[in-house]
């Protein structure tokens, strides 16, 4: 069996999904190999760009090509993260090389995205077109040779794709199309976060039956094992295996170890959240097991940073890390809870290596938070931000605008809250609300499709207060972002890699 992580996603850490599946397969003695085609594919394109466009007249491209090796080295060097400007230049120049590796004007590739002007990953017919014409995909020269070589060596009966992000969909289908045409005898399997969202979307219809033999929704271990003829319970947990993924090749200053202590979310009530809309169950790994896994993986991989991938790290896991510090810096998403207002707790958390928490504050108006069933109160949020700051833990704050329960006046209160806490907020993520198709609110409000794609996970809706998307966007761009204190925080955001690299800027 071969497990593949397809392009394009941020190549700053190894893919956790296939590492987990690899752990399950190894546990049951199933021969397999894993391929991070995302990292390899991006490096391949950049190498070919250096060969093909030498002597480019465009000054920026010429500089980016000339300094490519130096910039790549800089991105992997912690010292670069002491200077925002040096970091920005390295990222933007590397991105320039990747962008210029593609000759087709319809396609734009960046270190974080893949866009095709005429093919949408939200439309099944477009994904099928990508599969029918794999040679038109810019990664074709890479995957044609790489997959053929690997198949010849491994003789797999099954190849699985881990499709997590929309930016991976068109390339995944190009690879699937290539494999189906050249190796029709191999069983093709597709799973991952995006596939799960598609399948759990109301009205899901599988248009890919001639191409993909099996779609897997949710955690894929037991489904994959059963394809290999092994019956394993859904609740069985496997320690991820990163043996065959080369940590030093990723675009980060040191190894970043991703680990999930749970899937789903223990809160699972926020009205805007896809986790809730898709009915994803909360399945924790178990505190003892998670702590032991982390300790084992840290010993094995010696990471510079642990990325806890949980939708929300439970207090129980944090307390366990306090008792048994993992021995490396770490960051992840947390819910705002009373413990984060306690200085002793935050200092203890800091001592475990916690360098940054991502916090969904969402709104600066309590009534809006209550309407979205966020389950936090602003006084606690305010105190938590202050306490974390004093304890030396950075906050990456997430705000959401345009929910059905929000008005322009409410959004202005979010601006006030942000300005008032500007000294405590390390980084900011601003999002325009998208209504998940399967949410309760979508059933209660007048909705219409605005992405005109059968695979779109979101729907347009008539805002009960008349605050439409255009006005919300105008507020964010024209008012919120323009406030000098907000703009100063936004400038700190690492371009393209955003929260994935933010911790490196706050680590001592």
Binding site for ligand SF4 (CB under 6 A): 265, 267-270, 273, 275-276, 311-312, 335, 360
CA distance 363 to 440: 20
Tell me whether residue 164 or residue 312 sits nearer to ligand SF4 (CB atom).
Answer: 312
Could you give the 3-state DSSP secondary structure of residue 224? helix
* CB closer to ligand SF4 out of 36 and 278: 278
Nearest residue (CB) to ligand SF4, 222 versus 312: 312
* Encoded tokens for 272: 């805007």
Contacts of 468 (CB under 8 A, 6+ apart): none
Sheet of 305-308, strands arranged across: 256-259, 305-308, 329-334, 354-362, 394-401, 427-432
Distances (CA, A) of 214 to 127, 160, 190, 217, 403: 16, 9, 6, 10, 36
DSSP state string for 192-212:
SHHHHHHHHSTT-----TTT-
* Shortest Å, Cβ 275 to ligand SF4: 5
Rounded Cα distance between 259 and 22, Å, is 14
Tell me how crowded residue 61 is: count the other CB atoms within 10 A of its CB: 17
Nearer to ligand SF4, 270 or 290 (CB): 270
121 or 436: CB nearest ligand SF4: 436
Residue 180 or 335 having the CB closest to ligand SF4: 335
Query: What is the b/e burial string over 455-476, where b = at least 16 CB atoms within 10 angstroms of the residue's CB?
Result: bbbbbbbebeeebebeebeebb
Taking the complex as a whole, the smallest distance from the CB of residue 192 to ligand SF4 amounts, in Å, to 18
User: Considering the complex, what minimum distance in angstroms separates the CB of residue 175 from ligand SF4?
Assistant: 30
Least Cβ distance, residue 462 to ligand SF4 (angstroms): 23
Pairing of strands 107-109, 114-116: antiparallel
Whether the CB-CB separation of 261 and 217 falls below 8 Å is answered with no
Find the DSSP H helices in 392-437. Answer: 408-420
Q: How far is the CB of 440 from ligand SF4 (least distance, A)?
A: 13
Q: How far is the CB of 220 from ligand SF4 (least distance, A)?
A: 20
Measure the CA–CA gap between 379 and 383, rounded to whole angstroms. Answer: 6
**In 163-296, where do the E strands start and end?**
187-191, 214-215, 256-259, 262-263, 283-284
Nearer to ligand SF4, 111 or 313 (CB): 313
Structure letter (DSSP) for residue 21: H
Closest contact distance (angstroms) between CB of 23 and ligand SF4 is 24
Q: What angle do CA 314, 315, 321 make, to 5 degrees?
A: 95
State in angstroms the smallest separation of the CB of 2 from ligand SF4. 32
Residue number, 280 or 320, with CB nearest to ligand SF4: 280
Q: CB-wise, 130 or 270, nearer to ligand SF4? A: 270
In the complex with ligand SF4, which residue's Cβ is closer, 335 or 463? 335
Q: Helix, strand, or coil here: 436?
A: strand
Residue whose token pair is 């390899």: 40
Backbone angles phi, psi at 104, to 5 degrees: -75, 120
CB of 372 to ligand SF4, least distance (A): 9
Neighbouring C-beta atoms of residue 378, cutoff 10 Å = 16
In angstroms, give the least distance from the CB of 391 to ligand SF4: 22
């Amino acid at each position: 069996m071969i497990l593949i992580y397809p392009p394009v996603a941020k190549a700053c850490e190894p893919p956790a999904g296939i590492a987990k599946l690899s752990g399950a397969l190894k546990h049951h003695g199933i021969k397999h190999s894993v391929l991070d085609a995302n990292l390899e594919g991006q490096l391949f394109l950049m190498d070919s760009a250096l060969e093909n466009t030498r002597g480019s007249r465009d000054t920026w491209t010429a500089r980016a090509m000339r300094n490519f090796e130096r910039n790549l080295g800089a991105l992997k060097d912690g010292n670069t993260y002491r200077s925002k400007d040096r970091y920005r230049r390295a990222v933007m120049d590397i991105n320039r090389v990747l962008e210029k590796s593609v000759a087709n004007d319809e396609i734009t590739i960046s270190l974080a995205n893949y866009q095709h002007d005429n093919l949408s990953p939200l439309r099944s017919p477009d994904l099928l077109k990508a599969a029918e014409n794999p040679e038109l995909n810019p990664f074709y020269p890479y995957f044609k040779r790489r997959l053929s070589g690997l198949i010849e060596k491994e003789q797999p009966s099954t190849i699985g794709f881990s499709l997590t992000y929309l930016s991976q969909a068109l390339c995944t289908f190009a690879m699937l199309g290539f494999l189906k045409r050249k190796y029709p005898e191999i069983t093709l399997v597709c799973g991952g976060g995006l596939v799960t969202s598609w399948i759990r979307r109301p009205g899901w219809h599988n248009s890919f039956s001639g191409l993909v033999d099996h779609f897997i929704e949710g955690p894929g271990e037991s489904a994959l094992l059963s394809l290999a003829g092994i019956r394993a319970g859904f609740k069985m947990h496997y320690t991820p295996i990163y043996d065959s993924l080369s940590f030093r090749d990723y675009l980060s200053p040191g190894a970043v170890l991703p680990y999930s202590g749970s899937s789903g979310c223990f809160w699972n009530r926020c009205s805007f959240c896809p986790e809730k809309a898709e009915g994803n169950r909360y399945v924790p790994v178990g505190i003892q097991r998670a702590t032991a896994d982390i300790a084992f993986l840290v010993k094995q991989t010696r990471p510079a940073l642990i990325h806890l991938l949980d939708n929300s790290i439970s207090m129980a896991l944090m307390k366990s890390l306090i008792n048994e510090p993992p021995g490396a810096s770490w960051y992840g998403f947390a819910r705002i809870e009373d413990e984060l207002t306690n200085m002793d707790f935050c200092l203890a958390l800091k001592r475990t290596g916690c360098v940054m928490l991502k916090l969904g504050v969402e709104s600066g108006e309590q009534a809006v938070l209550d309407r979205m069933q966020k389950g936090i109160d602003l006084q606690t949020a305010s105190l938590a931000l202050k306490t974390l700051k004093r304890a030396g833990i950075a906050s990456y704050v997430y705000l959401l605008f345009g929910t059905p329960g929000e008005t322009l006046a409410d959004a202005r209160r979010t601006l006030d809250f942000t300005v008032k806490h500007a000294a405590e907020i390390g980084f900011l993520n601003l999002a325009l609300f998208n209504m998940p198709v399967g949410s309760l609110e979508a059933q209660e409000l007048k909705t219409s499709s605005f992405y005109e794609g059968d695979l779109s996970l979101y729907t347009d809706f008539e805002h009960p207060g008349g605050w439409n998307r255009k006005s919300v966007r105008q507020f964010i761009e024209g008012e919120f972002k323009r406030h000098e204190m907000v703009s100063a925080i936004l400038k700190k955001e690492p371009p393209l890699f955003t929260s994935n690299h933010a911790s490196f800027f706050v680590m001592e």
